[in-house]
């Protein structure tokens, strides 16, 4: 079914897609719309049937619905719900069951009658599954079909659990989960091996029968699959693309998730653009990349042939364009991430004064620092800046039980030698008992989490030491949102912001390195970035802030695109080897890789590959050949607060 084009820049988009600066704004709007739908149906004497999804994505929508219920008296008594899916083999009580998720995230906080809620059962037998699924479909039909279906999207392009290979006609059924999906769920289940292999999901055909479909997506990890779903052909290798055939399907996404849409990535291909410096850089680098040529060798003909005559007219000829962009890129390269003292800094990424600088490196979890900027950290220390590394969270949620068990046993063996540490001994004995009694998927006790946190502290200290940073310059903030929370369910509070404000006021940094600006907002990195933004807002008027720059590093597994890079710090082979040693200290994370793109490679290998790939890209564009490069982009602090 064809859809009227919204605007020229959206001409390649086959699904109506609306961009929002932040997930919250999109969720507030959608929540209002749902409430209006409920009201108008109620006024007409009809019930409302909602199709609901799980995962991190809809959590903010559910929070907003709960708020509307509490603060504005919105009632859900007339609402019926059908959830998309459930892990096969999980009981309702299992901490990762979608049944439990939905109750914790929504149903327990609103006035929907329990018998209006439908969630596929994870405990039917294989023999029963076919019949059970047919009955699930019948119940949808009997209630008149779904009025509005909420969807998230998996990185495989799945909707519900319709993995690649699902046909457009597929119905509710038992399915096998894709390995990437299982890898993405590994953190929830503390290891990929614990993630169920099967699930029951509504089919693509079932979803397409809903009268309206709204797909939500936040964060950079979804950008690639989203662009393919919106602009690519309909194909069963990307089930979300089938939504193109629904007249009332819409996508609501944030800017980070929109990054690969043509209107954002290559806007000159879908209309006239304003050729400012950034757009020019983006286009020239894109052309060099596409033609696999160094920037300085691009010709007028090549610009014209690729639809960039407008750029030539506005800022050309090619000779000028090439030199301009080449020299901008050249000036992003610096071996002095804290600024080079007593040097002309007019075209360096970081200013030379003050020297030394107070540099604050904020790492959402231990390991984010060394993984993403281990080389830069070493350089800052070596160049005598006053570096502080602050770990926002303890990272204890990502420590497998066997690691903690090993530590407990070690300490208990050492017991005679640490007699004075009576308190720790009790803690260890209690924790050992708790570990023994812990059911396969039980949550950790405070004691176990405490020890897991200590374990990560030890690893972080070792890693920092390898980067030359003494233990005294490390801060462990153990922010409460994390200590009290679980993945996908973090609820940051004022005290989290307060802890960051205290740190900022004490250090008065002249440089902050931070990450999470493009992350899914409920991820640890996303939450930490929002907390930093709020903390900076609170201290914005303090005098030291006038002299503070924020450098953003990209999360594990991703790097800034060449045109976005504002500071590129080259690493020599030795520096890279040292960084890898640092990463290696995070022993407890070896089975918990935060980089989830490649299961066959260790975290350090992937980090190495990313830094080396950036160096290769720079070289291909015609710049010097380095072993590896770490990159940063400035956050325009005062326009963003």
Q: Which stretch binds ligand GLP (CB under 6 A): 53-61, 120-128, 495-503, 570-578?
A: 53-61
Report which of 596, 592, 588, 584 is spatially closest to residue 555, judged by C-alpha positions. 596
Q: How far is the CB of 155 from ligand GLP (least distance, A)?
A: 8
Calpha distance 571→577 (Å, rounded): 9
Which ranges of 151-210 does DSSP label H, i.e. alpha helix?
179-184, 204-208
Residues of span 366-405 touching ligand GLP by CB under 6 A: none
Q: Which stretch binds ligand GLP (CB under 6 A): 52-60, 236-244, 473-481, 550-558?
A: 52-60
**Could you check whether the bond before residue 354 is cis, i.e. omega within 30 degrees of 0?**
yes
Judge whether 398 and 485 are in contact, CB under 8 Å.
no
Of 182 and 456, nearer to ligand GLP (C-beta) is 182
Of 153 and 550, nearer to ligand GLP (C-beta) is 153
Q: Number of C-alpha atoms within 13 angstroms, CB side, residue 442?
A: 13
Q: Which stretch binds ligand GLP (CB under 6 A): 13-21, 47-55, 333-341, 471-479?
A: 47-55
Q: How far is the CB of 85 from ligand GLP (least distance, A)?
A: 5
Q: How far is the CB of 276 from ligand GLP (least distance, A)?
A: 33
Query: Residue with structure tokens 């900076």?
Result: 536
According to DSSP, residue 367 is labeled T
For ligand GLP, which residue of 10, 15, 52, 55 counts as binding (CB under 6 A)? 55
For ligand GLP, which residue of 85, 147, 178, 209 counts as binding (CB under 6 A)? 85
Calpha distance 452→441 (Å, rounded): 16
Binding footprint of ligand GLP, residue count (CB under 6 A): 13
Instruction: Indicate whether 54 belongs to the interface with ligand GLP (CB under 6 A).
Output: yes
Give me 301's structure tokens: 């003909």
Judge whether 171 and 133 are in contact, CB under 8 Å.
yes
Of 163 and 630, nearer to ligand GLP (C-beta) is 163
For ligand GLP, which residue of 48, 56, 262, 614 counts as binding (CB under 6 A)? 56
Of 51 and 316, nearer to ligand GLP (C-beta) is 51
Instruction: Indicate whether 84 belongs to the interface with ligand GLP (CB under 6 A).
Output: yes
Of 52 and 621, nearer to ligand GLP (C-beta) is 52
For ligand GLP, which residue of 9, 17, 57, 562 counts as binding (CB under 6 A)? 57
Q: How far is the CB of 160 from ligand GLP (least distance, A)?
A: 5
Calpha distance 633→560 (Å, rounded): 8
Signed CA dihedral, 455, 631, 641, 268: sign only: negative
Q: Which stretch binds ligand GLP (CB under 6 A): 19-27, 34-42, 49-57, 112-120?
A: 49-57
Instruction: Indicate whether 349 belongs to the interface with ligand GLP (CB under 6 A).
Output: no
Of 154 and 239, nearer to ligand GLP (C-beta) is 154
Distance of CA 468 to the CA centre of its chain: 29
CA angle 352, 358, 361 (to 5 degrees): 110
Rg (CA), the chain: 26
Of 80 and 101, nearer to ligand GLP (C-beta) is 101
DSSP 419-431: TT-HHHHHHHHHH
Query: Residue with structure tokens 């020299």?
Result: 327
DSSP helix, strand, coil percent of the chain (3-state; round to 5): 50, 15, 40
Calpha distance 530→519 (Å, rounded): 10
- Output the CA torsion 525→530→535→539 (10° steps): 120
Instruction: Indicate whether 53 belongs to the interface with ligand GLP (CB under 6 A).
Output: yes
Q: How far is the CB of 514 from ligand GLP (least distance, A)?
A: 22
Q: How far is the CB of 165 from ligand GLP (least distance, A)?
A: 15
Of 54 and 603, nearer to ligand GLP (C-beta) is 54
Instruction: Indicate whether 88 belongs to the interface with ligand GLP (CB under 6 A).
Output: no
Calpha distance 240→514 (Å, rounded): 33
Q: How far is the CB of 478 from ligand GLP (least distance, A)?
A: 25
Query: Residue with structure tokens 């902050």?
Result: 512
DSSP 200-244: EE--HHHHHTSSEEEEEE-SGGGHHHHHHHHHS--BTTBGGGGGG
Q: How far is the CB of 64 from ligand GLP (least distance, A)?
A: 16
Of 55 and 122, nearer to ligand GLP (C-beta) is 55
For ligand GLP, which residue of 181, 280, 328, 510 counts as binding (CB under 6 A)? 181
Distance of CA 586 to the CA centre of its chain: 21
Dump strand ranges (E) for 45-84: 48-52, 79-83
Q: How far is the CB of 394 from ligand GLP (least distance, A)?
A: 22
Of 332 and 525, nearer to ligand GLP (C-beta) is 525
Report which of 631, 520, 629, 580 is spatially closest to residue 367, judged by C-alpha positions. 580
Calpha distance 54→83 (Å, rounded): 8
Instruction: Indicate whether 555 belongs to the interface with ligand GLP (CB under 6 A).
Output: no
Judge whether 162 and 206 are in contact, CB under 8 Å.
no
Catalytic residues, which ones? 163
- By residue count, the chain amounts to 641
Of 55 and 349, nearer to ligand GLP (C-beta) is 55
Backbone angles phi, psi at 448, to 5 degrees: -65, -45
Q: How far is the CB of 475 from ligand GLP (least distance, A)?
A: 30
Of 211 and 596, nearer to ligand GLP (C-beta) is 596
Backbone angles phi, psi at 538, to 5 degrees: -65, -30
Judge whether 263 and 9 are in contact, CB under 8 Å.
yes
Report which of 480, 477, 482, 497 is spatially closest to residue 362, judged by C-alpha positions. 477
Report which of 620, 58, 28 is spatially closest to residue 290, judged by C-alpha positions. 620
Judge whether 50 and 286 are in contact, CB under 8 Å.
no
Q: How far is the CB of 90 from ligand GLP (least distance, A)?
A: 12
Letters for 133-172 (x = contact with ligand GLP by CB under 6 A, - = none) are -------------------xxx-----xx-----------
Instruction: Indicate whether 35 belongs to the interface with ligand GLP (CB under 6 A).
Output: no
Q: How far is the CB of 203 from ligand GLP (least distance, A)?
A: 13
Residues that bind ligand GLP (CB under 6 A): 53-57, 84-85, 152-154, 160-161, 181
């Amino acid at each position: 079914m064809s859809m009227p084009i919204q605007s020229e820049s959206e001409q390649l988009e086959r699904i109506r897609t609306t961009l929002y600066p932040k997930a919250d704004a999109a969720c507030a709007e959608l929540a209002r719309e749902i409430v209006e739908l409920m009201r108008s149906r109620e006024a007409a004497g009809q019930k409302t049937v909602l199709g609901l999804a799980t995962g991190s994505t809809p959590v903010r929508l559910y929070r907003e619905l709960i708020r509307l219920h509490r603060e504005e008296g919105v009632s859900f008594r007339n609402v019926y719900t059908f959830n998309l899916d459930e892990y096969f083999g999980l009981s309702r009580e299992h901490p990762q069951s979608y049944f439990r998720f939905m109750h914790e995230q929504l149903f327990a906080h609103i006035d929907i009658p329990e018998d209006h809620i439908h969630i596929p059962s994870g405990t039917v037998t294989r023999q029963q599954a076919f019949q059970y699924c047919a009955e699930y479909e019948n119940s949808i039909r009997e209630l008149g079909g779904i009025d509005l279906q909420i969807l998230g999207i998996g990185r495989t392009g799945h909707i519900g659990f319709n993995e690649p290979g699902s046909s457009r006609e597929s119905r509710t059924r038992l399915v096998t989960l894709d390995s990437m999906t299982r890898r993405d769920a590994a953190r929830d289940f503390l290891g990929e091996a614990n993630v169920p292999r099967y699930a029951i999901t509504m089919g693509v055909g079932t979803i397409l029968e809903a009268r309206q479909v709204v797909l939500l997506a936040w964060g950079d990890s979804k950008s690639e699959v989203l662009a393919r779903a919106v602009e690519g052909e309909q194909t069963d290798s990307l089930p979300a693309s089938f939504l193109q055939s629904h007249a009332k399907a819409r996508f609501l996404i944030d800017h980070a998730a929109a990054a690969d849409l043509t209107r954002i990535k290559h806007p000159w291909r879908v209309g006239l653009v304003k050729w400012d410096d950034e757009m020019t850089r983006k286009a020239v680098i894109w052309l060099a990349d596409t033609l696999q040529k160094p920037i300085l060798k691009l010709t007028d003909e090549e610009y014209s042939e690729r639809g960039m005559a407008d750029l030539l007219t506005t800022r050309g000829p090619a000779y000028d364009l090439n030199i301009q962009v080449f020299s901008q890129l050249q000036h992003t390269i610096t071996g002095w991430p804290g600024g080079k003292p007593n040097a002309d800094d007019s075209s360096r990424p970081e200013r030379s004064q003050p020297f030394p600088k107070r540099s604050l490196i904020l790492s959402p979890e231990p390991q984010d620092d060394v993984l993403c900027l281990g080389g830069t950290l070493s350089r800052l220390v070596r160049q005598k800046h006053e570096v502080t590394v602050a770990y926002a969270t303890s990272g204890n949620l990502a420590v497998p039980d066997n690691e903690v068990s090993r530590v407990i046993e070690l300490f208990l063996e050492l017991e005679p030698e640490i007699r004075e540490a009576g308190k720790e001994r009790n803690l260890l004995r209690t924790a050992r008992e708790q570990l023994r009694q812990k059911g396969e998927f039980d949550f950790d006790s405070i004691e176990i989490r405490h020890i897991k946190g200590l374990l990560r502290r030890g690893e972080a200290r070792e890693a920092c030491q390898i980067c030359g940073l003494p233990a005294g310059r490390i801060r462990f903030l153990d922010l409460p949102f994390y200590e009290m929370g679980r993945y996908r369910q973090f609820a940051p509070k004022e005290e989290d912001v307060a802890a960051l404000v205290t740190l900022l006021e004490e250090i008065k940094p002249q440089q902050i390195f931070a990450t999470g600006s493009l992350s899914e907002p409920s991820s640890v990195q996303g939450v930490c970035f929002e907390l930093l933004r709020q903390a900076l807002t609170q201290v914005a008027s303090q005098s030291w802030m006038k002299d503070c720059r924020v450098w953003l590093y990209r999360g594990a597994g991703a790097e800034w695109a060449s045109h976005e890079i504002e500071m590129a710090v080259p690493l020599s082979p030795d520096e890279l080897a040292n960084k890898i040693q640092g990463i290696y200290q995070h022993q407890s994370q070896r089975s918990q890789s935060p980089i989830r793109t490649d299961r066959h490679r260790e975290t350090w290998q992937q980090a190495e590959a990313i830094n080396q790939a950036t160096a290769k890209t720079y070289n291909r564009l015609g710049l010097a050949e380095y072993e590896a490069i770490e990159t940063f982009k400035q956050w325009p602090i005062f326009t963003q607060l």
